[in-house]
Amino acid sequence: MRLLVVLALLFASAVQAEPVDYQLPDLDGKMHALADYKGKWVIVNYWATWCPPCQEEIPDLVNFHDSHKDKDAVVLGINLEDVGDEQLAAFVDSFMISYPVLRSEPLSTTPLGPVPGLPTTYIIAPDGSPVARQVGPVTKQQLDDYIARKKQAAR
């Protein structure tokens, strides 16, 4: 029952349907724009190193990214805290994060919309439009199920 409630809440928030683009630097200073991933589902995960629920969901995000990155979806982790580059890089290494980690100053509203708490995840459709938002942790299974439903509905 808990899973059904979580799935019902997951991505229940309406988000804007217009394509959105913005860019942020990764840990090496390389800029990443949402438009770079057009044609794929993009999971944009706002998080911080001090956030236990964020740490909890990282393995699922890594597994999701690794199983989809060469096919139909990617994860972009956007760190929303004032933390040093070396400290963040050490955290990323210790959690074996394989998806791009981008830097942003702490914000309560982003170009995708509000971030009322951490973690907050937005799903961007292959056309570049935000289609869902989840405040709180997500799992690989929830992401897989959501994308499968959307693909099925598009047929």
* pLDDT tens, residue by residue, 10-47: 444 445 457 788 899 999 999 999 999 999 999 999 99
Residue 1: pLDDT band (50, 70, 90) is very low
Lowest mean pLDDT among 2-6, 34-38, 109-113, 117-121: 2-6
C-alpha distances (whole Å) from 99 to each of 14, 25, 54, 126 are: 26, 13, 14, 18
CB distance 79 to 48 below 8 Å: yes
Mean of per-residue pLDDT scores for the chain:
90
Give per-residue pLDDT as tens, 84-107: 999 999 999 999 999 999 999 998
52: pLDDT strictly greater than 70: yes
SS3 9: helix
Is 2-154 a domain of CATH 3.40.30.10?
yes
Residue 70: pLDDT band (50, 70, 90) is very high
